[in-house]
Structure 1
Amino acid sequence: MERIRKCEAGGRDGMRKRRRHVWMGMILFSLLHSSISPSFAQDTTRQAAEPCYRCRLRNLLIAETVVYGTTIYGLSRAWYDNPLTNFHFFNDNREWLQIDKVGHMVTAYQIARVSAQAYRWAGLSDRKAAMYAGLTGLIFQTPIEILDGFSPEYGFSVGDMIANMAGPALYTGQYLAWGELRIQPKFSFHNTALAKVRPNLLGSSWNERWLKDYNGQTYWLSINPSTFARRDSKLPKWLNIAVGYGIQDMVAAETSKSIELGYRPYRQYFLSLDIDFTRIPTRKKGLKTLFFLLNTLKMPAPTLEYNGRNGFQFHALYF
């Protein structure tokens, strides 16, 4: 415990930068969500009396620009304590067994997904909406990385930037290749006992832990088999297969420091079932909105885990 207390007292331990990035991404995501939430309840098919889609698109782009510019300015003033200096790099690719990079990818993907729904509401085709959304997902994250490059406390992370590009690319690429989403990144979280070991770093309450405790986070790629099968396939269109990635026993950003504190960090790999809620037929706009939002999360289901320490393990219900 003495070693843990010393570690708590010293250094940013890689978390402040990670937590700040996730917070900024989530705040920007929420603002974008609130600005386009009417689109979730809209049927994307054109009605007999068509609205002015050009007006919708123009107003949407103006709203996104204003909200994003104002938010970036405000958050940059709030988070960057010291005056900006010369641009420099910071290599954090070895931290947290790279799960934070996966988080960057998933956040950027979800921003693109929400943006695409807004662009469809503004009258764009699925293909054009996906292309605009890919740019939006990238643009929403890039200035944060650039500001980091000029901050003496942080630095530009090439790993973060690659992850920020991968998320929108995964979204847009699927529409360009298949005209639909067949593979969707998702998120799940459960409480772990490790948060009590270092509450300042991993969270002292559930509201903090879902964001700070990487040991409880799992990131998934949820794949829809029916979209790859023949058209006459009897596979349920809503049933997905999910592969996941998690980490365990990381009580510090660096593996070596976690080992010094008496833990043996390891990676976890998962295979599970999932639900694609957007493929459940419904005409109710409220349910469409709910299903769209639920598709951000991996649903609890029987799960097979493999890790280098314990080998294969089966969970009757894992989230």
Structure 2
Amino acid sequence: MKTILCLLLFIPFLQPQDSLRIDTSTINYYKLSFIGTATLGGFIYGQALQKNLWWKGEKSPFHFNWKEDWAYALGADKFGHFYFPMLATNIYSDAFVWSGINKEQSLLYGGITALTYQSFTEIKDGFSKQWGFSWGDFSANALGSAYPFLQYKFPQLKNFNLKISFFPSERFKHGSNKVIFDDYESTYHWLSISIANYLPEKIRKYYPNFLNVAVGHSVKGFDTNSGHREIFFSLDLKTDELPGNTSFLKFIKKYLNFYHFPMPAVKVYPNVVWYGLKF
């Protein structure tokens, strides 16, 4: 069933079968075997970790989480369910290209790989009495897995990228979570926009390409009656536009660009606060 769901999701983006047929003469099967082994090891480790963090509680027949789906963490978890499959798709795509598969196919198969893992996790949630299968999570997973492929097919989408940053909240400092990645109050999601590409030509030639603008989101007190969202506007560093053209530096710059580094910002909701540097 997981495989069917993954394939159905990507059907609208598929090209004629011949164009997706892999040219096996270019594939390095040693590299591809390494990718497969690393994926299996990561899957086993990830499932063991999630079992300890999320699936310790009472089991139940498979069910859907309709009532609490968007109430949990005020919906902030959906950003994470988009972000991490998007990141995984990029990683798998680069790995598949490294093994000799062309770029378009690598993005497609990378997205399917990322979504398959996330779908398995959602199905496991469906058998947990505490959680249940979340259509909201699954939809965000699917969109995140597909987004790099969509950016390849529609280049204008490359001007819009989701980033993440972390800064310890008071809740986290008092031991609410073992790791900061699981604390939504410590997590900030940013939509980074390559504003230089939308400026008039007379201005664009003077504007630094490495400087984006971003809209940020976080939540505070979401497990209390006074829970609220926070909205920010910020400058953002586009690291892939920084100097350095070697293959190694391009690789480093690409993946640094998934993180929002501290920059001047202003919180505009629920109150106004100016930050010299917002982490």
Matched, 1:313 2:273: yes
Offset, 1:271: 1.4
Aligned Cα root-mean-square deviation (Å)? 2.9
Matched, 1:89 2:64: yes
Q: What residue number does 1:184 align with?
A: 161
How do 1:119-268 residues align onto structure 2 when only pairs under 5 Å count? Answer: 119-178=96-155, 181-196=158-173, 199-200=174-175, 202-203=176-177, 208=178, 210-228=180-198, 233-234=204-205, 235-250=207-222, 252=223, 258-259=224-225, 264-268=226-230
Q: Give the 3 Å change call, closer, same or farther, for CA 112–230 of structure 1 in structure 2.
A: farther
Distance 2:268 2:33 in 1: 49
| Unmatched segments (≥5 aa) in structure 2 | 1-24
**Other structure's SS at 1:87 match:** coil
Q: What residue number does 1:40 align with?
A: none
Q: What residue number does 2:239 align with?
A: 277
1:190-211 per-residue CA deviation (whole Å, 9 max, x = no partner) reads: 2233445xx34x24xxxx4622
Q: Is the 8 A contact 1:68 1:140 kept in 2?
A: no
Q: What residue number does 1:293 align with?
A: 255
Percent identity between the aligned chains? 28
Count of residues paired in the alignment: 250
Q: Which has the higher contact order (CA 8 A, sep 6+)?
A: 1
**Other structure's SS at 2:218 match:** strand
Q: Give the 3 Å change call, closer, same or farther, for CA 271–223 of structure 1 in structure 2.
A: same
Of 17, 22, 27, the residue aligned with 1:53 is 27
Q: Give the 3 Å change call, closer, same or farther, for CA 214–82 of structure 1 in structure 2.
A: closer
1:296-318 per-residue CA deviation (whole Å, 9 max, x = no partner) reads: 2101111122113x2x3321211
Q: What residue number does 1:67 align with?
A: 41
Offset, 1:220: 0.6
* Aligned partner letter, 1:169: A
**Other structure's SS at 2:76 match:** helix
Q: Give the 3 Å change call, closer, same or farther, for CA 195–315 of structure 1 in structure 2.
A: same
1:226-250 per-residue CA deviation (whole Å, 9 max, x = no partner) reads: 4456889414332222111111233
Offset, 1:148: 1.3
* Aligned partner letter, 2:214: A
Distance 2:59 2:124 in 1: 8
Q: Is the 8 A contact 1:214 1:247 kept in 2?
A: yes
Distance 1:209 1:144 in 2: 19
Offset, 1:117: 1.5
Distance 2:83 2:137 in 1: 12
Q: Is the 8 A contact 2:163 2:258 kept in 1?
A: yes
Q: Is the 8 A contact 2:43 2:117 kept in 1?
A: no
* Aligned partner letter, 2:184: Y
TM-score (norm 2): 0.77
TM-score (norm 1): 0.68
Distance 2:120 2:63 in 1: 14
* Aligned partner letter, 1:278: D
